[in-house]
Structures are given as structure tokens and as C-alpha cells.
Amino acid sequence: MEFEALNPNLYAQVLDELELIPSTKPYQILFYGSRERGDYHHDSDLNFYLVAHSTDQMKSQFIDSISRALQKLEDVAPVNMIAGDADSLRHRLKISEPGSVQLLEASSIFFGEGIFEDLKADWDKWKEREIPKSDLIQYLEKRIRFFKQQVTRNVKDEIAQLERITTLTLHIWALQNIEDLTHIELLKMDTPDQLVPLFTNLYRKELEAPIWELLELQTKVRKLKVDIRWKRDVSREDIHETKYKLISLRNDEEFMMNLWA
């Protein structure tokens, strides 16, 4: 872990604080993304995934305590944490959902023990099967509907909403149009810096004009997401333009009504 080498005392403080947080069931924190892989750049953030029992996740104090502990690492880079329970993660693994594939194939254990190891044993068996494309497409379409219906509270939420819908739309296109899709490709699709190169290099012959435009939009949304995370100025006009472009490419009148309601 790069930040451990940069500031071992800070890393130790975070672990000590996590040890003191009470929980009903054991929990684990996974570290993933470019900082974990080592191919990060100046704008890369620190990505964590909290695997905790649903009983603990319902306690706001539990989530807040973990977030506060991890926030100490903001001295290195912005911290991003997502939370989920082992059962839902296991379900996502069964259908080869790209985000869960990345967690099992390209993450390390930051804190805790037991949960990841059991998931890894299951995943090592499941990944030998063919990707269940129809089940995965159905799940991803459901996720798009979820993000479309979200009420955004601020600019950061708006950008995150656009980023997820754009990314998931590209995932679905690949599942529908690439016959020999692999789990490694699914992993790359959930890696922001690798998604566009994957499409433009490996799927170039299959790409049509709307997908090229969607990839350009993905790059723009990615930059907006990085800028807002690092607290740089973001143009409201850029966000509006991006929304309209996404609506046009998806031919999605219902989404337009939800966005501007």
C-alpha cells in the first residue's frame, strides 16, 4: 500500500482506531483501485469497500466511526468508501458483476479477516463458468433505473449519477455485443482509467458512432468527478451539457423528466 510507505504512523493510527469500533458482527475493509494497484497518478483517490453485516450498517454511528477513521488518510488523497454486506456481494459475484469482480480479483485486505477469504473461495469456483450475460444485463439495467431515480442533493451527487449511468450503459453494450467477453475484461470495465482504452482498442471494430460519443462523454464525466473530489471549480454549464448529451445518446425522455423535475 503506497500510503503506508508514505506515512506509516498515520496508517497505524487508522488501524488502532478501527480496532476500537464496536460491531455486532466481524467486518472487513478492502482496499482497491489505482492506489492499491500502484498505477495511480496525482489525482487518484483512495478507494475502500466496507464489508459489514446489515445489522451494523443500519447503525449510523458504526458507518460514521469507520468513515472518520479512514478520513485521517485524506492527508494522502481523497478517501472514497462504499459499504455492502457479504450476502449481496456474493450474489453479485454469482452473476459476475464488474464491481464485485474487481473487489475479488484486484483488492487487498486493509482491515479485518474471515469474510473476504470465504468469498474468494466461492469466487474461485464461479469464475470458471461462462459469464451469465442475461442475468448480469438484467441486474445492470436495474441499477441504471435506481440511479436514474435518485434525487441529487449537490453537484457531487449529480456527477456521480451521470458517471454511473454512463458506465453501466457501456457495460450493457459490451455484454450485448461482444461474444467472447472475459472476466478480465469485466474487471477493466470497472476500472475508470482502463474502460475507454479497453473499448477503443479491443472493441474498435464493433463500435458504432453513438458508442464513440458515449466514450467521449465517459471521459468528460470522469474528469468532472476527479475535479469535484479534489474540490476544484466545476462549471454548471459543463454538467448541464453532459446531462443533455447523455439523455440524447440514451434516447431517454423519462430520464430527462426525472433530472429536471
- pLDDT of 88-110, one tens digit each? 999 999 999 999 999 999 999 99
**Across 59-68, 167-176, 194-203, 225-234, least confident range:** 225-234
Is the model's pLDDT at 257 over the cut of 60? no
Cell of 210: 453513438
Question: What separation in angstroms does the CA of 245 have from each of 39, 48, 51, 68?
Answer: 31, 31, 36, 37
Residue 243 has pLDDT above 70, yes or no: yes
Specify the range with the lowest mean pLDDT, choosing from 7-16, 45-54, 64-73: 7-16
- Residue 236's pLDDT is 82
CA-derived radius of gyration, the chain: 19
In 3D space, the residue among 91, 197, 104, 185 whose CA is nearest the CA of residue 138 turns out to be 91
Region 247-254 average pLDDT: 71
Position 76 confidence tier, pLDDT thresholds 50, 70, 90? confident
pLDDT, tens only, 125-161 = 999 999 999 999 999 999 999 998 888 888 888 899 9
pLDDT tens digits, one per residue of 177-207: 999 999 999 999 999 889 999 999 999 999 9
Report the 3 state secondary structure along 85-140: CHHHHHHHHHCCCHHHHHHHHCEEEEECCCHHHHHHHHHHHHCCCCCCHHHHHHHH
User: What is the average per-residue pLDDT within 216-229?
Assistant: 90
Residue 111 pairs with which residues in a beta bridge? 29
**pLDDT for residue 258 is more than 60:** no
- What pLDDT is stored for residue 252 in this prediction? 66
How wide is the angle at C-alpha 161 spanned by C-alphas 160 and 164, nearest 5°? 80
Rounded Cα distance, 87 and 93, in Å: 10
Report pLDDT digits (tens) over 18-48: 999 999 999 999 999 999 988 888 888 999 9
